[in-house]
Chains A and B, each alone.
Chain A
């Protein structure tokens, strides 16, 4: 079955710097890759997603890149702000014969003023 690995587990950056979180997946049939943000005590919420027919997607200060050959995708946050501090999860799913949605282990991002 699908396995999603996520690194790093914690990440500390200065306000204004960039942050990069990386994930790898094992199932080559996976074709949908969302990223979720979870603030303390709250539920995870989608911030950006990418499908396997696209290599990069941007939304203001956040971007996601996908390398299907390497089975690797990354989240990039530029000009970080204190309110970006949260836990970020990557995930992977495939519609082939199943509707599983498997998450990585999470990255705790701290942005210091």
Chain B
């Protein structure tokens, strides 16, 4: 089965600093999802990356998929307190698959 490892497990940054979260898969990634979760809330969809070395940006968040390394990275520029939360990567094993496998998450704290 596919396993996703996220690093770091937790991160504390000063407001305004840049940061990167990594997600490494035990198998080739086909579809890679990034979600954000706040305590007591459900998952908020951020971005989906498909196989093929894709890069997407939304506001100050950029996600990249490196197919060869079976890795994805999530980069936040000029972090704000509103970015605080748990970031989860999720993946599906192939086309037509709907079963999302998630990493354990990266807890981000942003100090004003």
| Chain A bound to chain B | no
Q: Which residues of B are in contact with A by a Cβ distance under 8 Å?
A: none
Q: Which residues of A are in contact with B by a Cβ distance under 8 Å?
A: none
